[in-house]
Structure 1
Amino acid sequence: MTSQFHPSNGDPWPAPHHSEPVSGFVTVPGSKSLTARHLVIAALSSSPSRLSGALRSRDTDLMIEALRAMGTTIEGDGDDLTIIPAPLHGAHIDVGLAGTVFRFLAAVAALADGPVSFDGDAAMYARPIGPLLDGLEQLGVKITAGEGPRGRTLPLTVEGPASGSAVTVDASGSSQFVSALLLLAPHLPHGLTITHEGESVPSLPHVAMTVEALRRAGASIEESTDGPVSWTVAPGPLHPGHITVEPDLSNASPFLAAAVATGGTVTIPHWPAQTTQAGAHIVPILERMGATATLSDGNLTVTGPGSISGIDIDLRDAGELTPTVAALAALADSPSRLSGIAHLRGHETDRLAAIASEVTKLGGRCVETRDGLFIEPAPLHGGVVDSYEDHRMATFGAILGLVVPGISVIDIACTSKTLPDFPTMWEAITT
């Protein structure tokens, strides 16, 4: 298959190799996805709010600085933030490599009193946003955008106001297109009905996360699956109050995978009994691959098997877990087929091409399929794993390095996108 992805730069990080089962108690910072949503909701609300346990990473700091540039007051340097909303004004936004900043604020910019321009890292130019821009134009928003390998992209300028109360969008490329419009919807004069048109929406738990966060702040949202999937949001003020952010379950997945890869045991505290985070899918996935998992008093403990079983699984609702699952599949004793993840070709890098390339480079057997990956057991050897400036590809390499000696990872610092101190946390469970 044709792929477009870009190798990263930086000195290789020697991935810790651990010939014995790992054992650790790992406290994971707050969810990036929840932090981003709550920040936007709070910035657009009708009263000040407080956010506790917020993730502070490159992505969330970019979101904070972008909202400040548009007029929102956000106080606090750590994970406890006070957000004081104000009318939005025109600004220039650096989105870095953060899809949430790029897509969420492209929609929110329609509420500003002047043009909002966007630019970011070179790799962001390959990330799709065209369907969202099409939807905003249906609402009368003026869009000026560049042309990239996947359609309209950076540099982008958005100029409102938005009008109308209905939009049709093809969200088959990213659930963030729906989430962005949902975040905008309560603030339009007549609310908004969003109808998805196209193949199924990937990562629907992320849409459910947006809906739940908005409802918690007071939004009225009706969902319909009778015919085309749609969401109808009534206009009205939001009052989030005090929000505590759950730990990031997707960021916990590499540490749990470390237990599976080595036959060890890892415990993650504060694991929610119920959540909209797609990262929660990691538990039944690991169990299907042979692990055991227990949840007691908020502590999730995963113990790895003697050998890892391959898996045939549709990851449509949890695509962000693909690099973690693929790393374990490359270490398994039977083949694995990961499907439902064609949309990963439009993430920080083309994750399907990147995984196939890196597994093959290390002596493994991994090929792309139409909508995923097929991985067969094969002995792996040491080598340099490229992260492609993608935090989840970096942790993919770290997982393999636990079992395969001589692996190093280029640009491990890119993990700061969502997990500011990953190398130290990783080394703590391997010493």
Structure 2
Amino acid sequence: MAKSVSWICVVLASFVFMWPMLPGLAGAQRVTSGAPDFPGILRTHADNLASVTTDAEALDLFASHLAGALSLQDSVTALTDKPPSGKASADRLTDPDLTASAVRLTAELAAWRLAAAIKQTADAAPAPALQTVLQQATTQQSWLLEGRGREHLGRAVKLASVLNSIEAPPTSEPDASTAYGEYAAYLDRTYPGLTEADRSWLVVAEREGSAGLRRRLMEFWEKTARSEVDKEALAARYFQTRLRPVLTAYLAALAIRAEAEAEQNARDEWMRLHTWRDRLNEKKGLARLCGTWQWTVHNHQNHQEHKMLMVFPPPDTLDTNQPTGPRPARIVVLGDAVFLRWEFQMGYQEDSLLFIKDGQRLEGSFTNSAGAWGSITGKRTGSCPRGHTSRRPRPELPCEPAPPDQ
């Protein structure tokens, strides 16, 4: 049996363990309480969301209106409360992260509202409703669309502008049947692709906008004399009957995609703000654990004792800076209690420990899936490193495999 359980000690002693605070693996679990009524919040605050044009305005709107509706008052308190003069607060260290997250959440809600509005008004012809949506979007496009990765929303806004730029034809058109038949036949023959080919109408609309479409629509008249009024009327008729239905369907698809992306991003940011205090406490606990420890493990099953050097890095250490080797699958530090779970190809081990003597020692026990159990004692031998390093210190006293049972 000693041989069957000693592999854990061998693997542990072969490396010095360094790991960052891994998202989803360490600390507090996701909050299971229900999310807020996002669609209702969008309806209630639609006008406010449509008028935001800067990060500062987004933060003001979040603090004054959105946080309460989203059940995020705790984050607003952390952002607005000021510590006593001359005193630093650990919570204040999170201000940049909280501020950025609050701004991102407000921006995602604004993007969500705009995408939903475009989707709802895309098929209006003539398009006064779509025109109103675009006019509102004009004031916040530079803030909402530039450099924020909202590709589908940006494409939807551009295509909506194209649809809105060409007016519907007049009710009565001179020589409508004959002139339009020749005109439409030429365009159908010269530019047959609607959506797929590189020279399709859709590609031109997205790449060149209304100017590119207009150039094509007026190309026929370069060799055919016609009044400007007739040209405009026939071009508008072709656009409205042949092109607009296709472009409108594509616009709706873009808006739906943009709406889904904004919704997912908004829910992610809400969860990040909803759990910020748990993550802060987790970070504080991992910072308390950070440092170099002399680890003594006594296996009660085979009465062997093993020692090794453990190095816990700062909680914000990037994963790319970590050496290869085993890491805990889960780390939880709550007050003086420390829980570590190790997962290996052949099983797992769980360590339950307590800080004692002002955090300079750890004492507790372990159990593993091979049936072994015992005690663990940790003594702090080095403080938390200030810088990051990828250098892996060697274990001081690597443990040896236990002899097999006779």
TM-score by length of 1: 0.23
TM-score by length of 2: 0.24
Bigger fraction of residues in strand: 1
Higher relative contact order (CA 8 A, sep 6+): 2
Bigger fraction of residues in helix: 2
